[in-house]
Structure 1
Amino acid sequence: MSNKAIFLDRDDTLIEDTGYINSPDQVKLLPSAAASLVELKQMGYKLIVISNQSGVARGIIKEEAIADIHHRLKTLLGREGAYLDAIYYCPYHPNGAIPKFSKESDLRKPNPGMILKAANEHDIDLSQSWMVGNSYRDITAGLRAGCKTILINSSVRPACKKVGDPEPDKKAVNIREATNIVKMQHLQEKISGASESKELLPVVETTTAKSTGSVTDSISALDAAAVFEQPETIAEQTSSNAKPAHPEKTHRLLEEVLRQVRTGRREDMFHEFSLAKLFAGISQGLVVFCLLLSLWLLMDSSRSVTAVHTSIGYAIVLQLMTIGLYMLRDGK
């Protein structure tokens, strides 16, 4: 196998994740997605999307709509000079509502089926390839297939790690930083290859002046400056002779900030109602009531000390119950 590839998750890796996308109009590229793919393609990688689409099995979306969505994705990328080599998706889910798609499948991530299928059809060397995605399902699938992996772990929507989930090879905040990681790895391989080639050359003593630099030094100096670019979420260092930021890059940075704000608001809006939280609130109110009651009983000389102790005891029990309910809610 001679080709190498970047396998990419779709939602929240290349396009905004608004839930189950069921219309081409909902497809919006993330900032720097297209530019990053262009750079990866220039390094000789095939670009292949690997996506779970359980909405088909659940009856939320039809395969025809997915085809339209992916056509829209290709169109938006193509306008910026980025082109995908293939898109694979898995429509199956064991708890689906459509009998045809309601089953387990080796294609569904975290299983590596889609990656292995793509590798077979596109003659890909998986040991030279990367799986990039924003969930540990992507990482598990990539590692099982034999790829190197990068987890896109945004501070706004961090990846949820479960017990037993493997660690990725690298982590990034977005597709831009993931691309930088691949570029640096690519540079290191070039430097390593140049060093090995230098060791194979015969040693010849001459009377000429000493060389001012090795092959490794020249490659490192030239390529490192040309290859590496800071991720757009990290502020660039300024200097007295620095040129003004390019308007297009500034616009993309603002789009990224706006997307993260919207994502955070959307998560707050759809935070699920919790009965544990409701009962915890009621219990906390009763704690306050019991403490006020005990204070009133303590100030009334005609009341016995036993009544005060009883009221405080109820307050303690209710407070412990409140803490337990909050812990139950947070553990979900």
Structure 2
Amino acid sequence: MKSKAVFLDRDGVINHDHAYVHAIEDFEFIDGVFEACQYFTELGYKLVVVTNQSGIGRGYYDEAQFQRLTQWMCEQFNRHSIDIAGVYFCPHHPKKALPQYLRDCDCRKPKPGMLLQAIDEHDIDPTNSIMVGDKASDMKAAIAAGVATKILVRSGQEFTAEDESFADFVCDSLAQLPQKLG
């Protein structure tokens, strides 16, 4: 039987987006993120992080730094009895990147590559899954991957009506989701 998942963008959903966050000391969890993730885990959802990381491609930090931060982040979730089933990232950028990362790939959201890879590797049913992101590109990737429910979190940002039109729900943060969906 296929599992269901909540796909989470990282910056702006799990942590405050301070632009190219790559160091533990700069990583600030958004209030309520652990409680919201516990809620989804209790409902039987796998949690999967899908994050564009063009800072790697631009040379602001490297993959090893990203992996160290990711391991630390997952440990913080584990301390709250939350398992992150997988973390998928795209280091590429089509115009602003070092040569080895300069490409128009299938994994950079709004393309669905990261989600499709996770769906395949974790035997996920996208029609029974949720995408939570803070940009229209997150919603577009979810649509392209066939993810049923799209949730746009503002995280302090303002969106156009067109941006919001890609989402099924719009809220201020991940912490509001249990009340919004419950």
How does the TM-score come out when normalised to structure 2?
A: 0.92
TM-aligned CA deviation for residue 21 of structure 1: 1.1
Bigger mean CA offset, 163-172 vs 86-95? 163-172
Supply the distance in 2 between the matched residues of 1:143 and 1:165 (Cα, whole angstroms): 13
Counterpart contact for 1:96–1:103, Cα < 8 Å: no
**Residues 56, 91 of structure 2: 8 Å contact kept:** yes
| Cα pair distance change 1:151/1:103, threshold 3 Å | same
1:57-104 per-position Cα deviation (integer Å, ceiling 9, x unaligned) = 111110000001101111222222222111000001012331111000
Kept in 1: contact 2:24–2:69 (CA 8 A): yes
- Secondary structure of 1:141's match? helix
- Return 5+ residue gaps in structure 1 as ranges: 185-332
Match of 1:36 in 2: 36
Alpha carbons 2:130, 2:150 under 8 Å: kept: yes
Shift of 1:170: 1.0
SS state of the match for residue 7, structure 1?
strand
- Matched positions, count: 181
Provide structure 2 residue ranges, at least 5 long, that are not aligned to the other structure: none
How far the C-alpha of 1:106 sits from its partner, in A, is: 0.7
CA distance in 1 between counterparts of 2:111 and 2:61 reads: 22
Report Cα offsets for 1:133-173 as digits up to 9, x if no partner. 1111111111111111001024x3223x4868842111111
* Paired AA for residue 113 in structure 1: G
Greater strand share, 1 or 2?
Answer: 2
Distance 1:36 1:163 in 2: 27
Where 1:55 maps in the other structure, the secondary structure is: helix
- Give the corresponding residue for 1:173: 172
1:126 aligns with 2:122: no
Q: How does 1:208-287 map to 2 (within 5 A)?
A: none
Give the Cα–Cα distance (whole angstroms) in 2 for the partners of residues 18 and 34 of structure 1: 20
Q: Which structure would you say has the larger Rg?
A: 1
Q: Residues 103 and 125 (structure 1 numbering): CA distance in 2 closer, same or farther, change over 3 Å?
A: same
- 2:102 aligns with 102
Is this contact kept in 2: 1:140–1:165, CA < 8 A?
no
CA distance in 2, matches of 1:108, 1:88: 10
Q: Does 1:152 align with 2:153?
A: yes
d(CA) in 2 for partners of 1:181, 1:113: 28
Identity of matched residues, %: 31
CA distance 1:105–1:75, change in 2 (3 Å): same
Distance in 2 of aligned mates of 1:179 and 1:134: 17
Q: CA RMSD in A?
A: 1.7
